């Protein structure tokens, strides 16, 4: 089997803080130069802070392998993809790519709303590295795949967002690189189209292509990728069969953190309206815990700050299981604050998940604060906290006296009722009972 990618001790340093936070103006540079003689005293304040987004990442990928790259936010997944797709350069280390690379960090890169579908297919194809002849050859196939034949000569600004995404993905799905790098783009589109794309992607690797796939969707990773690499704080933590890595990830303390706080952090999720302060999992006694008895209720708590007053905000939780299946979403329905503009301040909202409702296993909680009409998501921390639901199998949980494997995404203890007809009466003809 041919080696397609070798990455050796790849490291990437970003400078954050200081004046490098965003672009500089000439004034900043002049100010820096002018203050240079006094630098020693000012150094502590002005010195930009460096962070290593990646440190010594090494791996090899063979021809035809599909590798899922997983890890928490900030683990370095996106940085790794950006280096492999040559968008940014590593600070140290070396990557060798034995073939043509195409990267899909987003669908529809370079799409222009004024241009027609047809024009955008050619433009986008060229941006992704296809030649004009190649695009022309595959054009009919691309259009058929997208299902927007009727509108192909209409400017894409008249497209619905669904049509736009389908056309954009159709172009991407017809790339024929030796190495394909995909970042979370499957999170878009409707379910049936997603499935079509997943199928297209798996057929890509059956033709001998190597695929690197970053996702938060553990179901997609285990379904698509035989192999997974788990990144944590810029390091390769584990590398091996996807199902093992995924479950290791979800059950490790990377996966379960009952409380996280962003208080005082410069990069807390949020915008000018609201910022996240903390998310906590508590048991019914109010103790922060990452282990919950299946027979007891769970309190999910979100603490957030309202900076700009006057918005009607709805905190909401997005609850996932370890396969990445969204179990449910819950919006704050507290009548006191519902649809009411909030004054600035710190709020703590609690949602109660009933007892005997969640299934055993890891539960991952995403926390968000949104304005609902019109929809503005002020922040959404996809994997804010996680906890374990345990069933001690004492006989009084939903599983009763059965101790074996017990599938199902939720495990409600339903109310059962029984109607009993004694044996002698049951022998009566059907008509008599009515």
Report the interface residues with another protein, using CB under 8 A. Answer: 2-3, 6, 14, 23-27, 29, 82-101, 103, 105-106, 109-110, 112, 114-115, 119, 122-123, 126-129, 131-132, 155, 176, 178
Q: Residue 137: which residues within 8 A CB-CB, separation 6 or more?
A: none
Least distance between another protein and beta carbon 92 (Å): 6
Nearest approach in angstroms of CB 76 to another protein is 14
Distance CA 272, CA 109 (A): 28
Q: How far is the CB of 153 from another protein (least distance, A)?
A: 14
Residue 2 or 223: the one with the smaller Cβ distance to another protein is 2
Report the nearest approach of another protein to the CB of residue 30 (Å).
Answer: 10
CA distance 344 to 273: 9
Min dist CB 236 to another protein, Å, is: 17
Nearer to another protein among residue 208 and residue 324 (C-beta): 208
> What is the spatial order of strands in the sheet that 274-283 belongs to?
259-261, 274-283, 298-306, 345-353
Residue 327: φ, ψ to 5°: -75, -45
Nearer to another protein, 86 or 338 (CB): 86
Which DSSP symbol is given to 157? G
Q: Give the Cα separation of 28 and 315 in Å (integer).
A: 39
Q: How far is the CB of 194 from another protein (least distance, A)?
A: 20
Residues ≥6 apart with Cβ < 8 Å to 133: none
Q: How far apart are CA 250 and CA 216, in angstroms?
A: 11
Closest to another protein by CB, 82 vs 378, is 82
Specify the DSSP class assigned to residue 108. Answer: T
Q: How far is CA 335 from CA 308, 338, 339, 414, 427, in A?
A: 21, 5, 8, 28, 56
Q: Which is nearer to another protein, 23 or 416 (CB)?
A: 23
* Complex with another protein: residue 35 or 131, whichever CB lies closer: 131
Give 77 or 399: the residue with its C-beta nearer to another protein. 77
Q: How far apart are alpha carbons 145 and 137 in whole angstroms?
A: 14
Cis peptide before 374 (omega within 30 of 0): yes
* C-beta of residue 356 within 8 angstroms of C-beta of residue 260: no
In the complex, what is the shortest distance from the CB of residue 175 to another protein, in angstroms, rounded to a whole number?
11
Name the minimum Å distance from CB 187 to another protein.
Answer: 15
- Whichever of 122 and 337 has its CB closer to another protein, that residue is 122
Contacts of 218 (CB under 8 A, 6+ apart): 70, 246, 249, 250, 322, 323, 324
Q: How far apart are CA 401 and CA 394, in angstroms?
A: 8
Alpha-carbon separation of residue 25 from 20, 32, 43 (angstroms): 10, 11, 20
Complex with another protein: residue 105 or 268, whichever CB lies closer:
105
- Shortest distance (Å) from residue 346 CB to another protein: 34
Residue 96: C-alpha distances to residues 54, 60, 83, 207 (Å): 17, 9, 11, 21
Minimum Å distance from CB 141 to another protein?
16
β pairing state of 274-283 and 259-261: antiparallel
- The DSSP 8-state label assigned to residue 226 in this structure reads S
Considering beta carbons, is residue 122 or 406 the nearer one to another protein? 122
3-class SS of residue 312: strand
- Provide the minimum distance between the beta carbon of 392 and another protein in the complex, in angstroms, as a whole number: 49
Indicate the Cα dihedral angle 404, 407, 408, 412, nearest 10°.
Answer: 0
Output 97 or 152, the one with its CB closest to another protein.
97
């Amino acid at each position: 089997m041919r080696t397609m990618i070798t990455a050796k001790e790849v490291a990437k340093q970003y400078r954050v803080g200081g004046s490098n936070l965003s672009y500089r103006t000439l004034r900043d540079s002049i100010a820096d130069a002018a203050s240079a003689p006094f630098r020693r005293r000012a150094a502590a304040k002005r010195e930009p802070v460096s962070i290593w987004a990646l440190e010594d990442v090494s791996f090899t990928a063979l021809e035809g392998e599909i590798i899922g790259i997983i890890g928490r936010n900030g683990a370095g997944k996106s940085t790794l993809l950006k280096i492999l797709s040559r968008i940014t350069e590593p600070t140290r280390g070396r990557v060798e790519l034995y073939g043509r690379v195409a990267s899909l960090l987003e669908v529809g890169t370079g799409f222009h709303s004024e241009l027609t579908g047809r024009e955008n297919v050619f433009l986008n194809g060229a941006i992704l590295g296809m030649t004009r002849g190649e695009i022309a050859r595959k054009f009919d196939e691309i259009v058929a795949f997208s299902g927007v034949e009727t509108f192909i000569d209409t400017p894409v600004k008249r497209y619905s967002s669904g049509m736009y995404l389908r056309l954009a993905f159709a172009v991407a799905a017809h790339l024929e690189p030796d190495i394909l790098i995909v970042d979370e783009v499957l999170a878009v589109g409707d379910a049936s189209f997603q499935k079509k794309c997943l199928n297209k992607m798996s057929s890509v690797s059956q033709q001998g292509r190597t695929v690197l796939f970053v996702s938060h969707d553990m179901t997609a990773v285990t379904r698509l990728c035989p192999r997974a690499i788990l990144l944590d704080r810029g390091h390769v933590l584990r590398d091996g069969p996807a199902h093992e890595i995924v479950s290791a990830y979800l059950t490790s303390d990377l996966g379960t953190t009952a409380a996280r706080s962003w208080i005082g952090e410069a990069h807390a999720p949020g915008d000018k309206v609201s910022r996240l302060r903390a998310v906590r999992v508590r048991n019914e006694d109010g103790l922060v815990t990452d282990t919950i008895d299946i027979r007891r209720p769970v309190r999910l708590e979100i603490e957030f700050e309202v900076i700009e007053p006057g918005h009607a905000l709805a905190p909401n939780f997005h609850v996932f299981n370890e396969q990445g299946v969204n179990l449910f979403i819950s919006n704050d329905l507290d009548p006191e604050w519902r649809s009411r503009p909030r004054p600035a301040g710190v709020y703590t909202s609690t949602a109660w998940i009933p007892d005997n409702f969640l299934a055993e296993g890891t539960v991952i909680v995403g926390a968000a604060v949104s304005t609902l009409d019109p929809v503005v998501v002020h922040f959404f921390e996809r994997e804010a906290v996680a906890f374990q639901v345990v069933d001690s199998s004492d006989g009084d949980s939903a599983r009763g006296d059965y101790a074996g494997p017990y599938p199902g995404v939720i495990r409600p203890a339903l109310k059962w009722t029984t109607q009993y007809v004694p044996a002698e009466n049951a022998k009566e003809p059907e008509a008599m009972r009515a």
